[in-house]
Amino acid sequence: MRSLGDIIGGGFFLALGIWAMIGAYRLHVGTIAEPQPGFFPFLGGVTLAALSGILLSQALLGRGKGTGAFGAVWRPIAMILGLVFYVAILDSVGYIIATIVLSLILLRALGTKTWWVFVVAALCITFGSYILFDRALGVTLPRGLIGF
Amino acid sequence: MHLGNGLIIALTPVNLVYTFIGALVGTAIGVLPGLGPPATVALLLPVTYKLNPISGVMMLAGIYYGAMYGGSTTSILLNIPGEAASVVTCIDGYQMARQGRAGPALGASALGSFFSGTISILGLMLIAPWMASFAIKFGYPEYSALVVLGLMMSIYLSEESVLKGLMMGALGLLLGTVGIDPVFGAERFTFGLSRLTDGVDFIVAAMGLFGITEVLCNLESPEIREVFKTSLKKLLPTLDDWRRSWTSMIRGSVIGFFIGALPGGGGVISSFVAYAVEKRISKHPERFGKGAIEGVMAPEAANNASSTGSFIPLLTLGIPGNATTAMIFVALMIHGIRPGPLLLQEHPNLFWGVIGSMYIGNVMLLALNLPLIGLWVRLLKVPYRFLAVIVVVICVIGAYSVNNSVFDIGAMVIFGVFGYLLRKGNFPAVPLILAMLLGRILERSVQQSLIMSGGDVFIFIQRPISVALLLVAGILLLTPAVRWVWRQRRVFGF
């Protein structure tokens, strides 16, 4: 049975390995007795490329386990998009606002229907974590529009 | 300096508090599916910056062995392993719960873990000084060979194919080279980003690969929340139960301890092997799978013993064997403590203090896991999405706090997505993270060896210990290759 995951994975890592080999070559590889900066990266790259080649050829020949099935994949995607958005706005609006927004969006996207439940939860999570980490444990979180 | 001093150190109020926090957090993450010891230790690493290293390691260690206690709760009650190391416990544990015997199953698991925890700490205490004195004689060539062997073993023992494990190892080595080259100072793969001159941050990568990835995977599966409505009044196994299972407890502990001490061997393998051994030597193997108490006792004892055993390579050789001890390794480095054979000599307070705290931690965990079971079960009723958001927020804080930079949060998310894809493709993440950490160390160590030998690469083969280690690594590498060639013999024409 053809394993799509192995084909994609093998192909991707093969390309990555070759790219690393080229990059390492530019840094000068040297020899095992006198390694230059590119030596270890080259070693890593060539190993990765060779092994990926084997994986890819095996996968194309049809040998391999199946790929993991995708379940409700929109949920992880929602999480990822939420996090990307979060990273984009964090420095400008500060921890408190950003985290409230993130929690609201995520909890709603992931299924909480009753609006006051996720508002309360978002506030609790945000302020709870803020008090615990910023105040009690001394981790400085980004200040933002509110000023704390 | 010995256990007595260690216990005194562990019994100070500050250390008691941190050991307790570790045990508590450990139990919680053990019970809750979706967050494991590697990610939690990574997350709480920044918290330990402000602490003295001894208290910090006590807490982190507590998280690790605490999670082994907690993992069995969901396995028995819900047929859902809280930890990968508790998967095997589901088999007989859940059956026991269905027969109305959840209480004795939980009790056996906690008591078995306590016993195995205690004797494996004893083992650690006795073996570590001996191993450290042996390893002190290691020079750079021996150490390089040891790192290679450690990586090979963790690849060989990983659940996925060795080919994919080796690929992940190679990738990890590559990622480890990002940054400034240790010898020449050249910039490697930094793309002009100043953030990358120090390399890919290991803690951030671990939080992504083990924290975010786990959350993403869990979000995909539908929510199954049917907590077992069983009366948990009788928590102690009966005399009959004990009669059947006390030898399993001992066997599980020994198996777990030695497998745990191997790099790459951990709770998962130990529990599987312990279960298989019990089934093999049992006079009534047909009872397994139908609620045999030995099937709960052995794996639970094994996974606990393995978590303690995995401290051996970390504390005596300076080589972490799994993701969790790799994080503790990083914690030690951050505090300026070089893990290695000299650790016992240079920091006896740390070593004996942590051992003392392990004994105390195990006692605390017994108290946390037996009477307070009801509390943990209630925790499971929270819908996963709330836990997911909490975990993600904590991950975000953790990533940010490493360097006060939002870049690290982004890096963590990227690792998280990458890890999610790796899971889908059945690529193991542990060799990746170990190779990222050990790759850099290996490079430096090899460079030092070559400096020692004046550029003679044969130094690795000239010294007996390093030859022996490399030979074993080579055998581990070649065995799957030989098997593969043998299977293709028709293709090759023989």
Cβ-nearest to B426 among A38, A68, A102:
A68
Distance of alpha carbon A60 from alpha carbon A2, whole angstroms: 7
- Strand, coil or helix: what is B188? strand
What is the token pair recorded at B47?
Answer: 């918290």
Which residues of chain A, if any, have pLDDT below 70? 1-2, 33, 62-71, 112, 136-139, 144-148
C-alpha distance from residue B119 to each of B112, B172, B252, B304 (Å): 11, 35, 11, 10
What is the token pair recorded at B300?
Answer: 């639970």
Nearest CA distance, A3 vs chain B (angstrom): 9
Closest CA to B351 of B41, B22, B131: B131
Distance of alpha carbon B460 from alpha carbon A108, whole angstroms: 59
What ipTM is given for this predicted complex?
Answer: 0.88
Q: Where are the domains of chain A?
A: 4-60, 74-136
Instruction: State residue B311's pLDDT score.
Output: 92
Compute φ and ψ for B341, nearest 5 degrees: -60, -25
What are the helix (H) ranges across B32-179? Answer: 37-48, 53-78, 87-98, 102-135, 140-156, 162-176
Looking at chain B, which residue has its C-alpha nearest residue A129? B394
pLDDT tens sequence for chain B (494 residues): 677 888 888 888 888 999 999 999 998 888 887 788 888 888 888 778 878 889 999 999 999 988 888 888 888 887 877 777 888 888 888 888 888 888 888 888 888 899 999 999 999 988 988 888 888 888 888 888 888 888 888 888 876 788 888 999 999 998 888 888 777 777 777 776 777 777 788 888 888 888 888 888 888 776 555 555 555 556 677 777 777 788 888 988 999 999 888 887 778 888 888 888 888 888 887 888 788 888 888 999 999 999 999 999 999 888 888 889 999 998 898 888 888 888 888 888 889 899 999 999 999 998 888 777 777 777 777 777 788 888 888 888 888 887 888 888 899 999 999 999 998 888 888 889 889 888 888 888 888 888 887 777 777 777 888 888 888 888 888 887 787 777 776 666 65
Looking at chain B, which residue has its C-alpha nearest residue A73? B220
- Strand, coil or helix: what is A96? helix
Chain A contacts of B436, Cβ < 8 Å? Answer: none
Looking at chain B, which residue has its C-alpha nearest residue A49? B167
CB contact under 8 A, B189 and A41: yes
Nearest CA distance, B238 vs chain A (angstrom): 42
C-alpha distance from residue B169 to each of A15, A82, B89, B114, B448 (Å): 16, 31, 30, 35, 22
Distance of alpha carbon B128 from alpha carbon A106, whole angstroms: 47
Cβ-nearest to A68 among B164, B423, B457:
B423
Nearest CA distance, B197 vs chain A (angstrom): 14
Angle of helix A39-60 versus helix B430-453 axis, rounded to 10: 140
CB contact under 8 A, B426 and A65: yes
Distance of alpha carbon A108 from alpha carbon B19, whole angstroms: 37
Distance of alpha carbon B260 from alpha carbon B465, whole angstroms: 23
Instruction: State residue B257's pLDDT score.
Output: 92
CB contact under 8 A, B167 and A6: no
Sequence-distant (6+) residues with CB within 8 A of A33 are: B450, B455, B456, B457
Nearest CA distance, A147 vs chain B (angstrom): 17
Distance of alpha carbon B87 from alpha carbon B79, whole angstroms: 8
Q: Are B49 and B334 in contact (CB under 8 A)?
A: yes
Distance of alpha carbon B354 from alpha carbon B63, whole angstroms: 13
